[in-house]
Structure 1
Amino acid sequence: MKQSVLEQIAFEQKEHLTISDAGLERDTLDLLPNLSSHALIISGIRRCGKSTLLHQYVKKNNQDAFYFNFEDIRLYEFQISDFIILDQVIESSGLKVLFFDEIQIIRGWELYVRQKLDQGFKVIITGSNASLLSRELGTKLTGRHITKELFPFSYSEFIEFKKLDPSEQSFYEYVETGGFPEVVKTGHHEILSFLIEDIINRDIVVRYGIKDAASVKKLFSYLLSNAAKLTTPSKLKEMIGIKSPSTILDYFSHLESCYLIHMVPKFSYSLKSQMLAPKKMYVNDTGLIKAGSVSFSEDKGRLLENIVFCELRRHGKEIYYFNENSKECDFIEMNKGQVKQIIQVCWELNHENEEREIDGLVEALDYFKQENGIIVTVNQKDLIRKGQHMIRVIPVYEYLISQKSD
């Protein structure tokens, strides 16, 4: 690489970032520490607004920064030895704050980041692959990094951007649109179809050298159509046409690393039992379900459950599902081994499902020796006393707003 080329790329990238719309101030912004001794890692699915968050971070802290996106097509030959030339470009800029976009695609990047930290630079990194980031962070940057995750707009951010009130109607609009900032802003839902194709091709098929790209796409399409359902590789292998369950497990791992899906384990004090039990699968954003599913049954209850999961996951919650004595509860939220919330989700409570939904929640409350539980519905509000348990029934739009301040 030539220094003059890197200087031109850095100039053009910085100019584009500077003139771009800073957009809605993200809730995550207040959670980003202003440290110089540790690298700040911001990871999340592509197009969820990571670069915009960096732009907001610069403004908030009144700091100018050197910005460099390693996914620029002109950098396809960039290697670890070229960091020496990049050092000269950084030195010429006179800046001590470094923003690196998708640096993890360069082999050996963690050595360079460690060096810049040792030299007194403040380093902020964004990336769209959780496993690639974590693998290197766990070796060369142990104890020298703080990681934060960014997701598409939450419901709270969505209604703030759209200038809507919390209501059943605005929730319906959120379900249909999803939270990807560009889609919310433009209304062009086809963006998500291209995004799915881009992530699967670039971040999975090419990166992991997968020859059967069609099987990955078929699997993801199936998962989109079955969000919020229990999933096991053995049941999928015939359906997808993949002979080995281990291959499906690998595909699960790749899809989760790219933040397309999230797998939730069954709660068990036995790690072996937890690993062997089926996992519940959720999608990063309901917009993806609408864009990529070929046969979603319009099960509104599962869409509702997926959104509640995403809100919990957005706050970094430790989440399990509960299944004991043939009774199920959707979410057990824990923090350092302590139960924080026990939540059941259904579109509406009615005479057909009320006993099943309440009994599943009560079974979980008894198991964890908790008094209070929550049932999230689309628009019902009530208070139910069941034995010694108090169950709060709350509309989803109120529940999602309440989580913002949690």
Structure 2
Amino acid sequence: MRISRDRYLDKLIARMGNGMIKVVTGARRCGKTFLLFELFEDYLRSQGVDDTHIVEVVLDDMAYADMRDPERLYAYVKSRITNPTDRYYVLLDEVQYAISNEEMHGDEPPRLYGVLNGLLRMRNVDVYVTGSNSRMLSTDVMTEFRGRGDEIRVRPLSFAEFMQAYDGDAQHGWAEYVMFGGMPLTLSMRTDEQKTRYLESLFSETYLKDIVARNGLRKSQELDDLTDVLASSIGALTNPSRIRATFDSVLHSSISVNTITQYIGYLEEAFIIEEARRYDVKGRKYIGSPKKYYFEDMGLRNARLGFRQVEQTHIMENIVYNELRTRGYNVDVGVVEQRSRHDGEQYRKQLEVDFVANLGSQRYYIQSAYQLPTEEKITQEKASLLGIDDSFKKIILVRDVVKPARDDRGILTMSVYDFLLDANSLTI
């Protein structure tokens, strides 16, 4: 089974030889290694690059354990670069393994950054690294190298990528994707039990244990509980104060707002969840709190909850969010204020637009409606869109199979299948 991930491969190819460190980030097991060490290396070979000019180090493999010492890593890479006039491609996988806990929490930059800086100074070396911690890579590397770090963000399989390997139609594929998500390895598993055990283990034994170890946490139960609370409330507005109230009333556990904020940050750094801020469409400003949190992968989210809360409406919303982010859009939750009069009194009501998606000069307002069974539901979903007086496209996505159609106010209704399977669907 070989899934082409052309969106990401094209980004790597476009950045070849640009004098920057190509930083490939994303959750562990989402396909970064396959992208870099299979797809990208195959491309290099197709362009005539000899294997001796591809230097690869897989730092989460015990075979390369001694390379986790930055000095040894640097010495090894330099030893492989034998001809100063030839181009070499250096591929380093899961580089957070070369940063100790003490270095990560210390005041001085980790020694790994010195290694990367040294490689940057070699004019005949093109450097690519992968990692699963956004603070060490997306943030710190970009800061440390001041414009010489170039991030390629990789996510679990999109629905379109998933369908490349799924043997069946889109409707059955959707049912599978909604339940088990897009972690690539699940596609090689034959039974639901295998997939369930794999996803449960990946979440608890890899992601959460990494967070606990990397951040020196002593009370992992609080992190577990917070993860469950967030998994149970995808698509719902929340903030640390509301979560603390849940801990008090439901879990009968005390936890501070600061600790909750810190733990949410750890989950974001590990690429488990993402935050969507609220945006006042008419006022053209952000609203500080509350926010929404979405999971990077539905299979991982469902596994965390023992597959007991598979709510189709909220999961579809999460999948739409992930697809927009995969396509490179900045995504906010829209708020449209509506003023009305009742019994002679004026009142204000806030209506929600599920997503305000921005990319350069492009903007789309999108509602994830799942179903529109009645005129009342149709009116409800369109209300916030009709309250927006600009000319950007307004779209309602439904789970049913329907032909794309515009109403007399220009609002487009389309099937979520058409949206997910056609990369150009928003331009229809």
TM-score (norm 2): 0.81
- In the alignment, is the contact (CA less than 8 A) between 2:142 and 2:150 conserved in 1? no
**Local SS of the residue matching 1:71:** coil
| Residue 257 of structure 1: aligned partner | 269
Indicate the RMSD between aligned Cα atoms, in angstroms.
2.6
Aligned to 2:59: 70
Q: Quote the residue 2:95 is aligned against.
A: 103
Partner residue of 2:134 out of 130, 143, 147: 130
- Which letter does structure 1 place at the counterpart of 2:366? I
Residue of structure 2 in register with 1:52 after alignment: 34
Partner of 1:171: 174
Q: Residues of 1 paired with 2:233 and 2:242: CA distance? A: 13
Is 2:328–2:359's contact at 8 Å kept on the other side of the alignment? no
Q: Identity of aligned pairs, percent?
A: 25
Whether 1:293 and 2:284 are equivalent positions in the alignment is no
> Which amino acid is the alignment partner of residue 97 of structure 1?
Y
2:325 alignment counterpart: 313
Q: Structure 1 stretches of 5 or more lacking a match?
A: 1-20
Q: Which residue of structure 2 lines up, in the alignment, with residue 361 of structure 1? A: 385
**What is the correspondence of 1:164-243 to structure 2 with a 5 Å cutoff?**
164-165=168-169, 167-187=170-190, 188-189=194-195, 190-240=197-247, 241-243=253-255
Supply the distance in 1 between the matched residues of 2:142 and 2:10 (Cα, whole angstroms): 26
What is the letter of the counterpart of residue 289 of structure 2?
Answer: A
1:174 shift after superposition: 1.8
Shift, 1:196, TM fit: 0.7
Measured against aligned partners, the alpha-carbon deviations of 1:274-304 in whole angstroms (never above 9, x if no partner) come to 3622111111111112211158543211111
Distance in 1 (CA, whole Å) between partners of 2:393 and 2:95 is 45
Instruction: Return closer, same or farther for 1:209/1:242 CA change in 2, 3 Å cut-off.
Output: farther
Matched, 1:398 2:388: no
The one-letter amino acid of 1:284's match is E
Deviations 1:176-219 (A, max 9, x none): 23111100221431211111113444431111111111111111
Distance in structure 2 (CA, Å) of the matches to 1:69 and 1:328? 45
1:44-77: per-residue Cα shift (whole Å, max 9, x none)? 1110111110111011122331111222346278
Mean CA deviation greater in 216-225 or 170-179: 170-179
Q: State the shift of 1:396 in Å.
A: 0.8
Q: How many residues in Structure 1 have an aligned counterpart in Structure 2?
A: 378
Give me the TM-score of the superposition, normalised by structure 1. Answer: 0.85
Offset at 1:31?
A: 2.2
> Take 1:125 and 1:98, find their aligned partners in 2: how far apart are those partners?
8
Compared CA separation, residues 202 and 67, structure 1 to 2 (3 A): farther
SS in 2 for 1:278: strand
Tell me the SS of whatever aligns to 1:229: coil
Tell me, yes or no, if the aligned pair for 2:94 and 2:132 is still in contact at 8 Å.
yes
1:335 to 359, 383, 406: 359
In the aligned structure 2, how far is the partner of 1:229 from the partner of 1:178?
Answer: 20
Contact 1:348 1:380 in 2 (8 A): no
Between the aligned partners of 2:173 and 2:307, the Cα distance in structure 1 is 25
Checking the alignment, whether the CA contact within 8 Å between 2:178 and 2:299 is kept in structure 1 is: yes
| CA offset digits 1:345-373 (Å, max 9, x no partner) | 0110122422211102222x32xx12531
